[in-house]
Structure 1
Amino acid sequence: MPSGVNGTSCSAEDFALSQDSDFPNIYCLTRGDSIGLSFGIQAGLISIIAVVILFGLIVRNIVRHRKYAPRGSWTLLREPTDIYVLSLFTLDIIQALGKVTSIRWVYLGKTFSGEYCTAQGALQQFGETGVACTTLVITIHTFMSVFWRRGLHSRIAAYIIVGLIYLFVSLWVGLGIGLHKDEDLPFYNPTPYWCWISSRYANERIGGEYLWLWLTLLISIILYVPLFFWSQGNLSVDPERWWRFRIHSRPAVLDFAGRRRRAFSILAYPAIYSILICPVSVIRWVGFGLEAQGLPSNIPSVATFIVDYTYTLSGVFNVSLLLLTRPNLLLFGPIPRGDDEAPMLPEPKNVSSDTQSSGTVGRLHDEDEGSGWDIPNPEAQTAMSHSTTHTATPATISAHPHPTN
C-alpha cells in the first residue's frame, strides 16, 4: 500500500474530502484498517468454501439416491425445513460475498461511493437481512412443531414464505438505490471500512436490516426459556390448547438425556446465530446511538473487525450444524433401499443409533413423544413395568418409535 497523508494511502485532496463532512463519500484506510479488512475477507472466503463444499455433498447425495433408492421414494426438498435451510445457505454465500468484495478497498487503501460501493452495500444488506429473516422463520417453525406439536407442513407455503423474504429484501435494496440517485447523497456509502446504508438514512437502516437482526435475536432468546424448562421436564403444554401450560416437578422416568439432545438439535441454528449476532448488535447499536446524537463514533476499529470476523463465519457454523445435528436434512440421511438393488453404503458417522432408531432428531418438524400433557406418572410406570416383566425386555418397554410424517 503506497504511503500517503496521516498514515494512509490517500492523497492530500482525498484526505481533506474525508474530513469535511459528517457523511463523507470517501474514507482513507490506515494500515491497521487494511489488515482488519483482510481478516474479514478471509472469513468470507472460508464461509463460501464451506457452503460450496456442502452443495457438492448435496449433489453427491442426489446422485446416490438416483442410483440406489427406489423411484419415487425420495426428494431433495421433502419438508419445509429443507427449503428453509437450503435458502439459508444460499443467503450465507451472498452475505459472505459482500465481505469478500472489500478486497478492492484493501488494494486501493480507501473506500469511496460509486457503483462498486453500491454493489457491495446491496450484497451485504441482502445477505444479512435475508439470513436474519430466514433464521427467524426457522426459529418459530421448529419451536411450534416440537413444543406445541403444530407447524407448517406444506412445501408450497414454505416456498411462498421464502419467496416473500427474497421479495421483501429485494424491494428494500432496489427502492433504496432507486429513490436515492443523487451522487452526493448516495444510499450506500463508506461506513467507514466497507460500504453499507449511509448513516444519513437512519430509518432505512432500521427497517431494512437492524429491526430483523434484533427481532430474530429477541425471539430466539424468548423461546429458549420455555424450551429449557421443557428439556428439563419441568414444563408441559396442552397440545390442543397451545396457550395452556403447567409447571411441575421433574418426573424421574423420562429420558431427559435424549430430550436435551433433541432440544439442542431443534434450535441449534438460532442459538449459534444469537451468539454471533449479539456482539455485532452491541457494536452497531452503540455506533447508531452516537450517530443519532450527532457524535463521532469512537468504537475501536479492532472491536469492529473482531465481531465482524466471527459474524462472517456464520456460513461455516451453519454447515457444521447441519452435518452434526441434522443428519436427515437435504438427503444426508440413510438411502431408502429396494429389496436387492442398493449396496450397504456406509452411513454418516455423525448419525447416532438414537437418531436412526427414532428418525426424529435429524428433522425439525417431527412431533416429540414428550410434548404436551402426557408426562408419565412414576407410579403408573412402575405398575406397567411389573405387569410386563415376563413379556418384554426393558429395552422393548422404553422404545417408542415414532413414524416420520
Structure 2
Amino acid sequence: MAQMDDDSGRFTFGKRLGLVFIVQTAGLSAVAVFALLAYIAYGAVKIVPGASRKWRTGTHVHFYFLSLLLSDLIQAIGGMMDIRWIVKSNVEVGPFCTAQGALKQIGDVGVAMASMAIAFHTFSVLVFRWRPDASPKIAFVVLGFIWAFIALTVGLGLGTHKGEDYYGDTQYWCWITSDYPVQRIALEYFWLWFTALLNIALYVPLALVLKGYIIIDGMKVRVPRGEERTHLKITSSNGMKDAGRLALEMLFYPAVYTITVLPIAVVRWRAFAADTVPFAATVVADVLFASSGLLNVILFALTRPALLPERDRRSGTFLDSTVLSEVVATSRPFSSTHGRSMSDPRPEDWSDLRRTQSIPREDLKPLPLGSEILPPVAPMSPLTV
C-alpha cells in the first residue's frame, strides 16, 4: 500500500489536490491530441464531393508524427486514470491498476521513440542531404520496429510475471513496481533519457548548420570563414522563412522534450537513491510530463504547419502548406554535387550574389507535405522532411 499522510492509509486532501493537477494536465493533452487527430482525419477524407484528397502522408515524418500523436494520446489516458485514485483516496492493485501501468509504459516509450525517429530523419535530410525514397517502406519498417518493441516489452513483462505485482502500486498511481528496478530503467527510463540527449546532440548541430556556423561536407566538419557564411531565405505560402528563424525553431524540439523529461528524471533518480522526494516536486515533474501531448501539438503546429491540412478558401480544398517559390543565396558559393569540396566549386555552381533567383509562380508545383524545411544548398531538387 502506498505511504499516506493519515493513519487510515488514505490520501490527504493535499495529495488528492496534487493528483487533480496531474489529471487536468493529462486531460488537456488528451483533448489537444484527439482534436488534432480528428482534424487530420477530417482533412484526409473526401468530404466535399469531387474534391481532391486533402491530406496525405507526403513524407516519412508524417508517419512518425502520427505515431507520436497516438503515443501522446495513450500517455494522456494513462495519466487521466489517476482520477480513480483521487475518488478512492488510495491506490488499489487490480486489473484497472495493471491497465494504467501498461498504458503509461506504452505511451511514454512510444513518445520517446517517435521523437527519436523524427530527430534522426530531420538531421539526416537537412545535414547529410539524404533523399529518402518517396515510398513509405522505410517509415513502416521503423514504426514496425518501434511498436513491436513496445508490444514485446509490455507483453513479456506481463507474461513472465504472472501472479506478481509487476504493474502495481507505486505510491500515487500504478506502474512497474519498485521490485523490478532493472525493468524500470531498461524498458522505459533509458529510452526517455537517451531521447532527450539525442535531441540535444542532433538538433543543436542542425541549428548551427542552418545558421552557417559550421559546415558538414561529407564526413568533414569545419567552421566556415566569414565570407563563406550562408544565409538562406525560403518563400512559402506562409510567407518568407529565414534560415536563422528555422534554426531557432530546431532548438525548440530538444527544449520542449527536455522540459517534460528532465524534471521527472531528477525526481526518479532521487527516489532510486532512497532519498525522500517532496510531494510538490513529484507533482510539478508529473504535470510537466503530462503536458507532453499538449506541447507537442503546439510545437508541431507552429514549426511544421505543412504536417497539418490547410483549407484553400478559393477552392474549398486542403492544400500543401508550403510551395517553394524563391531561394535567396548570398555570401557564399555553393556546390551542387554532394560530397565535392565547397571551396572548389565549378563555375556553373556560382550564384549571382547580388541577384535574387526567382521561380515564376505559374511554373511552381506543390511539394510534398512537410517540405517547408530546406537545407543550405544551392537551388536543386528540394529536400523534404
Normalised-by-shorter TM-score class: 0.7 to 0.9
Q: Are 1:113 and 2:93 counterparts?
A: yes
Q: Are 1:357 and 2:357 counterparts?
A: no
One of 343, 357, 361 as aligned partner of 2:314: 343
Larger radius of gyration: 1
One of 258, 266, 277 as aligned partner of 1:299: 277
Cα 1:70–1:195 change in 2 (3 A) is closer
Cα 1:82–1:267 change in 2 (3 A) is farther
> 1:355-405 deviations in whole A, cap 9, x for unaligned?
543599xxxxxxx9999777699xx99x9648xx7xxx64649x9585466
Cα 1:61–1:289 change in 2 (3 A) is same
- Indicate if the aligned counterparts of 2:212 and 2:229 stay in contact, CA closer than 8 A: no
One of 111, 123, 132 as aligned partner of 2:103: 123
Q: Are 1:159 and 2:140 counterparts?
A: yes
Q: Are 1:279 and 2:263 counterparts?
A: yes
Q: Are 1:134 and 2:114 counterparts?
A: yes
Cα distance in 2 between the residues matched to 1:311 and 1:234: 33
Superposition deviation, residue 315 in structure 1:
0.8
Aligned residue pair count: 347
Q: Are 1:149 and 2:149 counterparts?
A: no
Superposition deviation, residue 252 in structure 1:
5.2
Cα distance in 2 between the residues matched to 1:215 and 1:113: 31
Root-mean-square deviation (CA, aligned residues, Å) is 3.6
**Structure 1 residue runs without a partner (length 5+):** 16-27, 291-296, 336-341, 361-367
Q: Are 1:254 and 2:231 counterparts?
A: yes
- Where do 1:149-298 residues align within 5 Å? 149-150=129-130, 152-153=132-133, 154-182=135-163, 185-238=164-217, 241=218, 243-250=219-226, 251=228, 254-255=231-232, 258-266=242-250, 268-290=252-274, 297-298=275-276
- TM-score, normalised on structure 1? 0.74
Per the alignment, residue 76 of structure 1 pairs with 56
Cα distance in 2 between the residues matched to 1:346 and 1:375: 43
Per the alignment, residue 318 of structure 1 pairs with 296
Cα distance in 1 between the residues matched to 2:284 and 2:148: 32
**Larger deviation, residues 306-315 vs 60-69:** 60-69
Identity in percent: 35
Cα distance in 1 between the residues matched to 2:188 and 2:271: 15
Superposition deviation, residue 229 in structure 1:
2.5
Cα distance in 1 between the residues matched to 2:220 and 2:62: 30
- TM-score, normalised on structure 2? 0.78
1:160 alignment partner AA? V
**Structure 2 residue runs without a partner (length 5+):** 234-240, 328-334, 360-377
Superposition deviation, residue 270 in structure 1:
4.2
Superposition deviation, residue 322 in structure 1:
2.3
Cα 1:6–1:97 change in 2 (3 A) is closer
Corresponding residue SS for 1:357: coil
> 1:129-166 deviations in whole A, cap 9, x for unaligned?
11111111111111111111126444122112112211
Cα distance in 2 between the residues matched to 1:271 and 1:188: 31
Corresponding residue SS for 2:91: strand
The structure carrying a bigger helix percent of its residues is 1
